[in-house]
Amino acid sequence: MLTHAQVWTAIDRLAARAGLSASGLAKRAGLDPTTFNKSKRITAAGRPRWPSTESIAKALAATSTPIEVFVELMNSGGGPATRAVPLLGFAEAGAGGYFDDGGFPVGEGWDQIAFPAVSDEHAYALEVSGHSMEPAYRDGDVILVSPAAPIRRGDRVVVRTRSGEVMAKELKRRTAKSFELRSLNAEHADRIIPAAEVLWIARILWASQ
Sequence spans of domains, the chain? 4-75, 82-208
> For the segment 45-96, what is each residue's pLDDT rounded down to a tens digit?
889 999 999 999 999 998 888 887 888 888 765 455 567 789 999 988 888 7
> For the segment 113-130, what is each residue's pLDDT rounded down to a tens digit?
877 667 788 899 999 988
Write down the pLDDT at residue 117: 63
Cα separation of 139 and 127, whole Å? Answer: 8
> For the segment 13-51, what is each residue's pLDDT rounded down to a tens digit?
888 877 778 888 999 999 998 999 988 899 888 899 999
126 and 90 Cβ atoms separated by less than 8 Å: yes
- Please state whether beta strands 178-183 and 82-89 pair in parallel, antiparallel, or not at all (unpaired): unpaired
Q: What is the CATH number of domain 4-75?
A: 1.10.260.40
Torsion of CA 106, 107, 113, 118, to 10 degrees: 20
**Which of 86-90, 184-188, 193-197 holds the top average pLDDT?**
193-197
pTM of the model: 0.62
Range 82-208 has CATH code 3.40.50.2300: no
Q: Would you mind telling me the total number of residues written for the chain in this entry? A: 209
Q: Which of 132, 129, 156, 126 is nearest to 28 (CA)?
A: 156
| More confidently predicted of 42 and 112 | 42
Write down the pLDDT at residue 78: 45
Average pLDDT of the residues in 95-110:
86
